[in-house]
Structures are given as C-alpha cells and as structure tokens.
Structure 1
Amino acid sequence: MQAVIFDMDGLLIDSEPFWKQAEYDVFSSVGVEVTTELAALTAAMTTREVTEFWYAKQPWQDASLEEIENRVVERVKLLIETQGQAMHGVRNLLDSLQQAKVKIGLATNSPKDIIPSVLQRLDIADYFMATSSADEVSQGKPAPDVYTLTLKKLNTEAHHCIAFEDSFGGIKAALAAGIKAIAVPHANEFDHKKFDLASHKLKSLSEFSHQIGNALLTQS
C-alpha cells in the first residue's frame, strides 16, 4: 500500500448538512422551492451541476448561474470554518498512514476553494501530499477523472492505492480509475446493497488497519 486517497465531504468532515443548508438558503432566496425530495437528488452532484439542476426546475431572474453557485460555495465555507467537525477516526488514521510513509491524497467533487477551509478547520492540511477537485477535470465523480488526476499528482499507480468513499458515485469513480475502494457509508445507509460494489466496507475510518489495506491490494 503506497498511497491512500480520501473523499472529503461526509468522509473527513461532517459537512453534508452544511451543503443542504446552503442549498436551501441560496436557492430559496431567488424564489426556488427547494423540496426534500428533489434536494436528495443533488447530493452527489458538483456545485455547478446542482445550480444547473435547480435552474432547470425553476429558472430565476437577476442573477447568473455563476453568481448563485458562488453564493452556495461561500455559505458552505462559512459553515465549515465556524462549525465543521471531523468524522470519527480521521486524525488517528492520518497519523498511522503518515508514520508508515504512505502517500496521502484527496479527491473531491467539491469546489477547489472549499478544500483549504476543510483542511485548516480540521488542522490536517500537513498530511496531504496532493488534493484534487472536480473543478480541475472535465467530469466529476462518478467519472474517474478526479482520481486519475490525484494519482498523477502522487506519482502512484492505481494498483498500489486504496480509496475511501462514503458515496456510491465516489466508489464508482475510484473503481473506474482502477483503485480498490473502501466504503464508509453513513449509518442509515450502511446495509444498502449499492455499497457491495466496494472492495471492503467499514462503519468508520477508525476500523481500518494496514492489514486490511495490504490484503485488498493482493487480491486479484
């Protein structure tokens, strides 16, 4: 196991409620009726895709899509910087990987501007040798692009790497890039069959061991 790549939202930081809040606040402010049912469909999208989704449903006037997208990002950044909390096991796992001289990367669908806010809020920036956002590639997850870019930045081959993901789309992205994926689903989704696609499944990052990682990489 030469490298590990982490997703960010919902895996390193409990930020998904912030995205939901920002989405509701910003889109409601321009007259969009943000329903729980429709909002559930946007969870795995990039911020631009979310903005385009709501505009297609209920077009607004007097503000560009880019302006609205930026408002969402700024709202999320504020919530992260003032209220963000690490998910269970994050710090201990990063310590363990660093001590074992494993390269550590980050691959997220979130905008590039969000990454420093998260890493600084959790005080974990020094662990990461490379970070990549969907902003930097042509397609976000579930396409493999953001993982492929992170592997390149880490100068690591996919078969030497493991990915941690909390979403089905993220797992598909890692696997499409040739990386063994470990699912860390949220408690209310842990038993969902969609996560059977992953190479392994954990209740939290604290359950991971280097033995698990090495065993996965030796599997055909």
Structure 2
Amino acid sequence: MASQRAGYRAAVLFDLDGTLIDSEPVWAAANGGLMRSRYAEMTDEILQNLSGLDSTLAMRYLHERFGWAGWDLADDVAWVEEQVRQQYAKGVNWLPGARDLLAALRREGLAVGLVTSTYRTLVAYVLAEAGAGCFDVVVCGDDGFAPKPDPAPYLAAMRHLELPASACVAVEDSPRGVASAAAAGCAVVQVRGHRPAPGADRHFAALADVDAVQLRELIGASVH
C-alpha cells in the first residue's frame, strides 16, 4: 500500500478496472488466450464471474471450472499478467471522463484514493500515466488484505487517510466492489451495469455521467 498525503476532510475512493480504465477487454483477451490454448472458450457468464477478482482468485476460478488440475496456478497467473503487462506498456485506455473527474476532485480539495484488486506491478503503469500525486492512497490486490467483497481494502485506505467512512464515497463498477465499499461504511456510486448492485447508493450508466458535485453530495462529513 502507498500513501502520499494526510489532512483531508473527505475522500473519493476509486476502483480501477472497469471504473477508471477500460481494462476488462485486456484481461478478457489474456484469460481467453490461455483458455483457447486448452480448448476452452470465454463466455459472458465467465466474464461476469471473473469481474472484480484479483489475478489469483480469477485463475483459481478457471482452474476449478475447467478441471485444470495438472497445470500450475501460479504459472498461469504469471502468464496472464504478462499478457496484460505487454498491453499496458503500450498505453492505458482511460474511460471517458476519468481523467477530468480526477482533476476536478483535486481542485475541490478532496483526497483521491485507488482501491483495486489488480496487483501493484500492473497498477504501476496506471500510476505512471496518471502522474505523481494523482492518488493520495493506493491499495492493491497483493497488499495482503482480504480481497473484495471483504471491506478490508477500503478500511485500509481510510485508515491511511485518517478518515471515517462517513467522509468517504467509493466509485465502483462490479457487485463485488460495491459490496466491499458498502461493508466498509462508504457511500457507494456504481458506474456501468444494467441495474444497481445491492449496497449502491447511486447508479450511473457511465463514469462520464458523474461529476465532483454529485460525489460531494454523498459525503456525510463537511468538506468546508
């Protein structure tokens, strides 16, 4: 986990994959490539079940689903992550509105955090493009906390910012992420998905529909 600043009175905590960056096609292609090499096909159901999982849990799901008992799970995780790394090295595809919203929150004087299931070696490519100081705290999937939907990653981010849940709003796309943030006590904005997941306070079709004013309205603590 990385933390850069303290002293804020409120924060917006973002998920990464599918929330700030359009990385799901990259992961789908990487996992799909491994599956095709073993005569399995990616489906919408599998994609949905993989959403919000870290690399190890996602691969464990695939191993159990297809009975890959003779294959090494850690080697498969490393292979998929290398395919993703190669794509990230070419550039990260930010979702529409993501960079503008991050900048607007900074102008509003709010802390901005990243709480992701992605491992830190891959998150580093996003941080490099986002620029120094974009995020005040970064919690990654390999930081040793219980994974989403457990509240542990969000609780860790709030501890490092020294903020209560009433002063934080989370922005998530997956039901697992929404459940994690809600269990931590945050107000939760869900972007994407056909309908809001349990625990979401607001739902928007796309991140581009969300602005800093809407996020501040959901924060229980005064930021003045």
- From 118, 124, 127, give the equivalent of 1:116: 124
1:161-180 alignment runs, 5 A limit: 161-180=168-187
Partner of 1:18: 26
Unaligned runs of 5+ in 2: 1-8
Shift of 1:217: 2.5
Shift of 1:75: 0.9
1:53-64 alignment runs, 5 A limit: 53-56=61-64, 57-59=66-68, 61=70, 63-64=71-72
The answer to whether the 8 A contact 2:101-2:212 is kept is no
Give the counterpart letter for 1:173 in structure 2: S
SS of 1:106's partner is strand
Shift of 1:8: 0.2
Shift of 1:211: 3.2
The answer to whether the 8 A contact 1:90-1:206 is kept is yes
Cα distance in 2 for residues equivalent to 1:208 and 1:130: 21
Partner of 1:52: 60
Give the counterpart letter for 1:59 in structure 2: W
Cα distance in 2 for residues equivalent to 1:146 and 1:135: 10
The answer to whether the 8 A contact 2:166-2:220 is kept is no
SS of 2:120's partner is coil
1:37-186 alignment runs, 5 A limit: 37-56=45-64, 57-59=66-68, 61=70, 63-120=71-128, 122-185=129-192
Q: TM-score, normalised by structure 1?
A: 0.86
| Residues 1:79 and 1:147: Cα distance change in structure 2 (over 3 Å) | same
Bigger relative CO (Cα 8 Å, ≥ 6 apart)? 2
Shift of 1:110: 1.3
Q: How many residues align?
A: 211
In terms of fraction of residues, the more helix-rich structure is 1
SS of 1:113's partner is helix
Shift of 1:150: 1.2
Partner of 2:215: 213
SS of 1:135's partner is coil
Deviations 1:56-80 (A, max 9, x none): 222253x521111111111112112
